[in-house]
């Protein structure tokens, strides 16, 4: 008898009813008949929004075939209460005149040769801004409108500091594109940039992560990101003819800032690469999805999360964490800042200098003032009451005793 398992999982911020089964064309065609069903590449299963009505519809539809339905994962779990329908103004309402202006603004950004990612981001901010000002003419827009937009929309949505800074950049670009408005871009203030130290893995944790990654393709992707310090987009865009095995180099084309660079290809990665290439035989890209198309970043994040869970790593790990770890470990091994900057593709050395704050090699050689004080007491000729507190054994100042 065919077996279908129903599960509950979160996808794109919403709870979903998952439908899992071993591939069978009859089951596949029957599940596809459900009106709201979608396929998740990240979770490798069909799904519909989780609510009590969909539970009944899916169960009834599958039972028509008298298949075995395993719904034990749903027992005792309540479907989330649907949120109230958002008010109509959550959909952008922009005047035709302002819509035309937004389209011209997008063309202007592309004329500046900004990346498509930046163009999409700036477009979203400006479209939201025009939705906020309503029917107000673009020529009447001022810094006051920007301030109110930030106070009433951005603050309430709790945008991150980096997103807030991007928003101001988008409006500054708009004021340059459309000087007929009274927005003074020079007077707009960005919030101070946050100064967070990036999360990094130890070398042992990296090895445990790769060991816990069972799928050969997944392990090859994670190993390449870490061994070469690549961004997620760079590994997904990497084409096979840019891998120079003989010279032990990778050519990263058109990376962030429209720059090319050469990075190292680890000697220890080559056997894994050969095994992966012989098994999957990619045609164009280093890693390919269905039909030879580019692999998705969502899939990489999904299997990375699963590997971390199997490896028992509690830190919040993203593909960029592996890049941070690559840079930090190079610095701890004595590689110069300038070389690391080139390998990472940073335009400014200030960006690379953050790794000087998290490299641990030199920190481990610094003696705590408590250790110095304790050793001073323990080495003194006259006994002290402090010796009874700290004990007679000399404190090891240079090597932690874990």
- The gap from C-alpha 250 to its chain's centroid, in whole angstroms, comes to 23
- Note if 357 is an active site residue: no
Q: Is 192 a catalytic residue?
A: no
Name the catalytic one among 173, 323, 324, 329.
Answer: 323
Q: How far apart are the first and last CA of the chain?
A: 54
Query: Distance between CA 217 and CA 71 in Å, rounded?
Result: 31
Nearby residues of 376 by Cβ (< 8 Å), 6 or more positions away: none
The pair of structure tokens assigned to 368 is 């705590």
Helix count and strand count (H, E) for the chain: 17, 8
- 320 flagged as catalytic: yes
Q: CA 401 to CA 32: how far, in whole Å?
A: 59
Query: One of 11, 256, 261, 301 is an active-site residue; which one?
Result: 256
Contacts of 107-113 spanning 24+ positions with Cβ under 8 A = 108/173, 108/177, 109/173, 112/173, 113/258
| Full DSSP string of 14-34 | EEEEEEE----HHHHHHHHTS
Six-digit token string for 260: 């090319």
**How, if at all, do strands 249-255 and 68-70 pair?**
unpaired
Does 30 qualify as catalytic in the annotation?
no
Q: How many CA atoms lie within 13 A of 39 on its CB side?
A: 9
Extract the tokens encoding 163: 């997103």
β-strand pairing of 249-255 with 259-264: antiparallel
* Residue 150 CB coordination number (10 Å): 19
Known catalytic membership, residue 231: yes
Any idea which residues carry the catalytic annotation?
231, 256, 320, 323, 346, 355
């Amino acid at each position: 008898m065919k077996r279908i398992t129903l599960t509950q999982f979160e996808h794109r911020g919403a709870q979903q009813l998952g439908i899992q089964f071993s591939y069978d064309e009859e089951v596949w065609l029957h599940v596809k008949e459900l009106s709201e069903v979608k396929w998740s590449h990240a979770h490798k299963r069909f799904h519909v929004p989780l609510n009590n009505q969909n539970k009944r519809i899916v169960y009834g539809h599958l039972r028509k075939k008298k298949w075995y339905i395993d719904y034990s994962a749903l027992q005792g779990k309540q479907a989330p209460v649907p949120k109230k329908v958002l008010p109509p103004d959550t959909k952008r309402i922009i005047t035709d005149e302002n819509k035309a202006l937004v389209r011209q603004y997008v063309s202007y950004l592309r004329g500046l040769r900004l990346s498509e990612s930046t163009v999409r981001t700036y477009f979203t901010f400006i479209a939201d801004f025009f939705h906020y000002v309503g029917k107000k003419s673009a020529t009447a827009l001022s810094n006051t409108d920007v301030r109110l937009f930030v106070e009433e929309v951005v603050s309430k949505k709790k945008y991150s500091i980096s997103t807030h800074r991007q928003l101001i950049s988008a409006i500054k670009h708009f004021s340059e594109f459309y000087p007929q408005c009274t927005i003074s871009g020079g007077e707009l203030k960005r919030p101070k940039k946050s100064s967070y130290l990036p999360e990094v893995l130890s070398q042992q944790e990296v090895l445990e992560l790769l060991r816990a990654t069972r799928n050969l393709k997944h392990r090859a992707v994670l190993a390449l990101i870490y061994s070469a310090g690549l961004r997620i987009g760079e590994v997904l865009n990497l084409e096979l003819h840019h891998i120079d095995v003989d010279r032990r180099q990778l050519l990263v084309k058109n990376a962030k800032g429209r720059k090319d660079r050469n990075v190292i290809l680890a000697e220890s990665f080559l056997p894994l690469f050969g095994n992966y290439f012989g098994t999957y035989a990619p045609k164009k890209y280093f890693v390919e999805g269905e039909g030879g198309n580019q692999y998705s970043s969502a899939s990489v994040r999904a299997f990375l999360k699963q590997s971390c869970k199997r490896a028992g790593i509690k830190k919040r790990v993203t593909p960029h964490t592996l890049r941070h770890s690559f840079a930090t470990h190079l610095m701890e091994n004595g590689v110069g800042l300038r070389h690391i900057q080139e390998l990472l593709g940073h335009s400014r050395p200030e960006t690379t200098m953050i790794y000087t704050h998290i490299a641990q090699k030199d920190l481990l050689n610094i003696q705590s003032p408590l250790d110095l004080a304790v050793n001073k007491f323990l080495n003194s000729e006259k006994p002290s009451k402090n010796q009874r507190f700290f004990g007679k054994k000399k404190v090891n100042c240079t090597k932690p005793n874990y």
